[in-house]
Amino acid sequence: MRVKLKVNGYWVDVDVEPHETLLNVLRDKLKIRSVKYGCGIGECGSCTVLLDGRPVTSCLVLVAGLDGASVETADYIAKTELGTRIVDALLLEGAIQCGYCTPGFLVTIYAALKSGVIKRGDSEEVAKAISGNICRCTGYVNITKAVRRVVEELASSTS
Amino acid sequence: MLSINRVNTYRIPFTFEYYRPRTLREALELLRSVEEARVIAGGTDLLVDMKFRRAEPKALVDVSKLEELRFVRLAGSYVEIGSAVTLQELVESELVRARLPLLWEAVNSMASWQVRNIATIGGNICNASPAADTAPPLLAYEARLLLTSLDGVREVGIGEFFVGPKRSTIRSDEILQLIRVPLHPTGYGWSFKKISRTSFDIAKISVAVLLKTVEGKIKDPRVAFGAVAPTPVRARSTERAIEGVSLEEALEIGPRFVERDIAPIDDVRSTAWYRREVARAILRDSLRVAYERSLSSG
């Protein structure tokens, strides 16, 4: 069946099978490789993308049901102003080691900052927002610091 | 019991027919006419089962976008929640937060943000997991479920809905249309607690408590547990034991009666022994919290 999706700002028509997930189609048909396959069962958050503006684990979404939906992925978000800030902060704080989880974190952090789920940037607030993203290298300390850095930058740039 | 996960979870390993009806009626007709069709809402449980081949439906009827199932509204002395409302939408609902604080607290503790954005309350109920976190609060509120088929609507109390692990009284041609939850009763304190490996993991044990206090005595206590019996359960003998007693007495008596109400098992998440011990402990914690809240809510 054919499904129309707005992916990273562009409308695309894709031929999909009923059993294909959003993750399958983004990676294999649209060749967007920033979307990572981790656990495949919605626990690790590596495959996080924005679906109609909300972060979801794309491994648990049937693409056949998404006709007309909009999808944004990490590589696109990284080029936005806020996304660039987040990437820079992750680099500066040493919040990336192997990097496999990073695109998922970027998407979640971006959504959380944009929607106000993260406002103050304290560790409790950040921990709740990113609890759906697993990092097996850094232990979250530097990731949390990076988020706080972005929150502080945004506060000082608007004041 | 422990085995290496050799399943490739990247793909669903088989195909099936997929239907996205535009109306509830169309969905109900599909359930009648298509062989071995299953309802899918968010799919966060079903798709995992399919990846592991624990479920192999021949056809899926997707109800997640049906407007007729997507509302949260005040209806007289009830809050009515459409079954395809996502868990995150419930967390963001001011109505749920203000009028069903016990349910709100449970949903706020469920899954991750990403999964809450997909998973629905109807899915959580209809999967009938003994560990479903929406169940203990709905049992305590004595919610009612509206099940619709082409034959009409029937209403069942949530206490009669669950019959065993992953088994409920819903028929294969029925769709859970909405959940009718009586408003949080005035002056009642509440508490939802769960123990799990991480906050968004499946509960090893969960408890919901609703009670009021009259002159320092507990009145109309409602206690419901998750993950300690084949279904989510009301703890009726515990409730009777603590009716009309002080908090101190309830903390002493309540935990002794819990064992009569639960039937925990050993599984990968916990042992039965651990669940029994922890059931007593979180009951005590929850009674204390609910009691204090009942005092401050007047």
Which CATH topology does B17-62 take? 3.30.43
Inform me whether the pLDDT recorded for B198 exceeds 70.
Answer: no
Residues of chain A with pLDDT under 50: none
Q: Give me the pLDDT at residue B2, please.
A: 52
Of A18, A43, A112, nearest to B18 by CB-CB distance is A18
Q: Give me the pLDDT at residue A138, please.
A: 82
**Residue ranges covered by each domain of chain A:** 2-73, 78-158
| CATH top class, domain B189-296 | alpha beta
Q: Does pTM top 0.90 for this prediction? A: yes
Inform me whether the pLDDT recorded for B199 exceeds 90.
Answer: no
Question: Do the Cβ atoms of B114 and A19 come within 8 Å?
Answer: no
Please state the φ and ψ torsions of residue B37, each to the nearest 5 degrees: -85, 145
Q: Are B134 and B124 in contact (CB under 8 A)?
A: yes
Query: What contacts A119, CB < 8 A, 6 or more positions away?
Result: A125, A151
Choose which CATH entry (3.30.70.100, 1.10.150.120, 3.30.70.20, 3.90.1150.10) describes domain A78-158.
1.10.150.120
**pLDDT, tens digit (0-9, with 9 covering 90-100), for B35-46:** 999 999 999 999
Q: Give me the pLDDT at residue B116, please.
A: 97
pLDDT above 70 covers a percentage of chain B that reads 96
Inform me whether the pLDDT recorded for B98 exceeds 60.
Answer: yes
Average of per-residue pLDDT values in chain B: 94
**pLDDT, tens digit (0-9, with 9 covering 90-100), for B51-60:** 999 999 999 9
ipTM, 2 decimals? 0.97
**Residue range A2-73, CATH number:** 3.10.20.30
Q: Give the angle subtended at the CA of B157 by the CAs of B153 and B162, to the nearest 5°.
A: 100
Inform me whether the pLDDT recorded for B184 exceeds 60.
Answer: yes
* Token pair in block for residue B210: 């609703």
B267 confidence band (pLDDT: 50, 70, 90): confident
pLDDT above 90 covers a percentage of chain B that reads 87
Question: Do the Cβ atoms of B88 and A54 come within 8 Å?
Answer: yes
Q: Which of A129, A135, A136, A155 is nearest to A55 (CA)?
A: A129
Q: Give me the pLDDT at residue B244, please.
A: 97
Q: Give me the pLDDT at residue B266, please.
A: 86
B197 confidence band (pLDDT: 50, 70, 90): confident
**Residue ranges covered by each domain of chain B:** 17-62, 67-182, 189-296
Inform me whether the pLDDT recorded for B292 exceeds 80.
Answer: yes
**pLDDT, tens digit (0-9, with 9 covering 90-100), for A24-41:** 999 999 999 999 999 999
Which chain B residue has the Cα nearest residue A17? B15
Average pLDDT of the residues in B76-84: 98
Question: Do the Cβ atoms of A42 and B114 come within 8 Å?
Answer: yes
**pLDDT, tens digit (0-9, with 9 covering 90-100), for B106-144:** 999 999 999 999 999 999 999 999 989 999 999 999 999
**Partners of B225 in the β-ladder:** B207, B233
Average pLDDT of the residues in B255-268: 90
Inform me whether the pLDDT recorded for B298 exceeds 80.
Answer: no
**pLDDT, tens digit (0-9, with 9 covering 90-100), for B206-247:** 999 999 999 999 999 999 999 889 999 999 999 999 999 999
Q: Give me the pLDDT at residue B149, please.
A: 98
**Residue range B67-182, CATH number:** 3.30.465.10
One-letter-per-residue 3-state SS of B37-57:
EEEECCCCCHHHHHHCCCCCC
Inform me whether the pLDDT recorded for B3 exceeds 60.
Answer: no
Q: A-side interface with B, Cβ within 8 Å?
A: 1, 17-21, 23-24, 37, 39-43, 45, 48, 51, 54-57, 59-62, 64-65, 67, 108, 112, 117, 129, 131-133
